[in-house]
């Protein structure tokens, strides 16, 4: 049964965030709010958590996981950025964008794309997500919380708790986060290619 944490959407309670992070450090799998939908999250080094995300979402080995970062300095340790990518990505972060870029050796091989050695990264503009990331001190391995076969994503934590109670360790509820995923921009070829239009303005790329 998943623990349920009800947090303030704009001013999350530090004690509650500390409890969530303590569970993450103990290799929990959580559902948490971002600036575009709810997401599943676990520590980057949690092998079992990675497989649990695959099971919840019915993902195959080709799926690009996203490493959710607290800031640009953290993001820069995970992916290779040339000057043009640096300037463009810096201008829209934090925000509802995911960028696929060549991974650095800091990213475990099992998390990178098998052939491209690339990985998705993002910095959410969400007070609750930011509080979790800041307290944790490392990126979260994440995937948008889209249940296989569902017509729409679940928009609130209590729904996630009811639906996935036996598949998660914790649910962080900060109210409605909508149904629109991030805009995904693939930069692995050296120039931006919008591969999914979502909450972020694709016209920026």
Residue 135 sits in a domain of what CATH number?
3.90.870.10
pLDDT tier at 152 (50, 70, 90 boundaries)? confident
Distance of CA 14 to the CA centre of its chain: 21
**The pair of three-digit structure tokens given for residue 56, joined into one six-digit string:** 């919840």
Could you read off the pLDDT of 95-142 as tens digits, one per residue?
999 999 999 999 988 888 777 789 999 999 999 999 999 999 999 999
In 10 A of CB 52, how many CB atoms? 19
pLDDT tier at 94 (50, 70, 90 boundaries)? very high
- The answer, yes or no, to whether residue 3 has pLDDT greater than 90, is yes
Domain count, the chain: 1
Tell me the percentage of the chain whose pLDDT exceeds 90. 83
Instruction: Report the C-alpha gap between 183 and 99 in whole angstroms.
Output: 8
**13-22, 83-92, 112-121, 130-139: range with lowest mean pLDDT:** 112-121
pTM above 0.85, yes or no: yes
Q: Which domain holds residue 137?
A: 3-204
pLDDT at 113: 76
In 10 A of CB 59, how many CB atoms? 17
């Amino acid at each position: 049964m998943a623990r349920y944490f009800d947090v303030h959407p704009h001013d999350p309670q530090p004690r509650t965030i500390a409890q969530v992070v303590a569970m993450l450090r103990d290799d929990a799998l959580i559902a948490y709010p971002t600036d575009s939908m709810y997401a599943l999250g676990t520590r980057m080094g949690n092998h079992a958590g990675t497989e649990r995300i695959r099971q919840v979402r019915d993902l195959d080995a080709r799926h690009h996981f996203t490493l959710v970062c607290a800031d640009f300095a953290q993001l820069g340790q995970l992916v290779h950025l040339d000057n043009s990518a640096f300037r463009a990505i810096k201008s829209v972060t934090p925000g509802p964008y995911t960028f696929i870029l060549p991974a650095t050796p800091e990213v475990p091989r099992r998390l990178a794309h098998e052939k491209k050695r690339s990985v998705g990264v993002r910095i959410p503009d969400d007070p609750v997500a930011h509080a979790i990331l800041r307290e944790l001190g490392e990126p979260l391995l994440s995937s948008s919380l889209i249940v296989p076969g569902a017509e729409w994503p679940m928009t609130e934590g209590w729904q996630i708790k009811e639906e996935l109670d036996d598949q998660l360790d914790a649910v962080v509820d900060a109210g409605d986060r909508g149904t629109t995923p991030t805009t995904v921009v693939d930069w692995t070829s050296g120039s931006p290619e919008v591969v999914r239009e979502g909450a972020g303005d694709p016209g920026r790329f």
